A and B are shown apart, each in its own frame.
Chain A
Amino acid sequence: MTPADEDLIAKVIADADARAYGELVRRYQSQVRNWLRQLTRDASLADDIAQETFIRAWHKLPTFIGKGRFIAWLMKLAHNEFLQHLRRAKRQQRLANAVAADAEVRDTVSDFDGEAPDIARFLQTLSEAEQKVLLLVYGYGLSHSEAGSVTGLPLGTVKSHVRRGKEKIRARFDIDEARHG
């Protein structure tokens, strides 16, 4: 039987069990690395930061107990590591280049053709905070308060980013507000 996250976390805290921690890393590496790839737009840089995130998580795990879902906690650590990296390293130029490249995306986003609008690409034209919040909520399935915890934004701000982002997308793809059910 696959052990639950809580059991593995308890093992790591009680016995400093590196094998149990390895299992946790295997479970969440994809989401964390993906999130960091979205933040950095650089796969190898994202992997470096992801490694640092998991090392930090190993040391900070005893502070995690009873504080929501493990994935939300990891994403928050990853986001903090990313911000630290931005402060530490002088890679702003690289990011600026990436942002400039994104501007080109704006012109190539396809229109809503019924079933599958290119929302993921259009997302890149939103503000950074709106992108992050929408990705966390809709992409990674985090709650609004978890997204707030990850990004360090107040809940109200998260909700306004979601609302504003959705309004922009709705306007761009001409999607109505018809509810299901």
Chain B
Amino acid sequence: MAEPDRLDELLARSLQRSIDTVPDDGFSARVVRRVRLRKSLRVLSLSLATLAGLLIALMPAGRALEKLDAELARILERLETSQSASVGPILEALRVRETLGYLSEQIMSLFALPGDAAWLAENQALVMASVLALAATAVLRLLAS
């Protein structure tokens, strides 16, 4: 590499002097605030996407569970009394939708929802899906952190 000549030195001195130090004046804080806001928005959009995805995924699952429940109920009706005592509880436990319904009723009673929120009672699957989505998001965030 060539040795620096007189002009190199003059240029460096002159140009470095012309570059003033810009005081921060809250600039860094503003950048960090925007970065944090973007992070939050990202988490929020991820949660919403997870929720939407779960709802979409649960729709056919809900219909399948409904069929399964109806089938299990039919089987339970046909069972003899002696068979009902042994196999009955197992079949009842397999009725997932019934169980989900029971769980959502418990959650709603926990929050003492008013009567005008009756639609929630009618949309127990939706309530459960939301709870699951929120739990899934919390787990995702926990894993990410």
Query: Which residues of A come within 8 Å of B, CB atoms?
Result: 16, 18-19, 21-22, 25-26, 29-31, 33-34, 37, 47, 50-51, 54-55, 58, 116-120, 123, 134-135, 138-141, 166, 169-170, 175-181
Contacts and interface: CB of A to CB of B under 8 A. Distances in A.
A178 B5 contact: yes
Nearest to A123: B15
A169 B12 CA distance: 13
Given A18-B39, A55-B38, A179-B5, A138 B15 contact: yes
Contacts of B3: 179-181
A175 B38 CA distance: 52
B19 A34 contact: yes
At the interface, is chain B mostly helix, strand, loop or mixed? helix
B11 to A, nearest CB: 4
Given A120-B14, A138-B15, A169-B7, A22 B28 contact: yes
B9 interface: yes
B144 to A, nearest CB: 9
By Cβ-Cβ distance, the 9 closest A-B pairs, closest first, are A120-B18, A139-B15, A119-B14, A22-B32, A138-B11, A25-B28, A30-B22, A26-B28, A138-B15
Contacts of B5: 177-180
Nearest to A140: B19
Given A25-B28, A34-B19, A180 B4 contact: yes
Contacts of B23: 30
A18 B35 contact: yes
Contacts, number: 106
At the interface, is chain A mostly helix, strand, loop or mixed? helix
A134 B8 CA distance: 10
Interface residues of B, number: 33
A117 B14 contact: yes
A107 to B, nearest CB: 19
Given A118-B14, A169-B11, A178-B6, 10 more contacts: A18-B39, A25-B31, A29-B22, A29-B28, A33-B27, A54-B31, A139-B12, A166-B11, A175-B7, A180-B6
Interface string B15-33: 1111111111001111110
A34 B11 contact: no
A175 B10 contact: yes
A134 B18 CA distance: 13
Given A25-B32, A26-B28, A54-B31, A177 B19 contact: no
20 contacts: A18-B36, A21-B35, A26-B24, A55-B38, A58-B35, A116-B13, A116-B14, A118-B14, A120-B17, A135-B19, A138-B12, A138-B14, A138-B15, A138-B16, A139-B12, A139-B15, A176-B6, A179-B3, A179-B4, A179-B5
A46 B145 CA distance: 35
B36 to A, nearest CB: 5
A16 to B, nearest CB: 6
Interface string B69-109: 00000000000000000000000000000000000000000
B67 interface: no
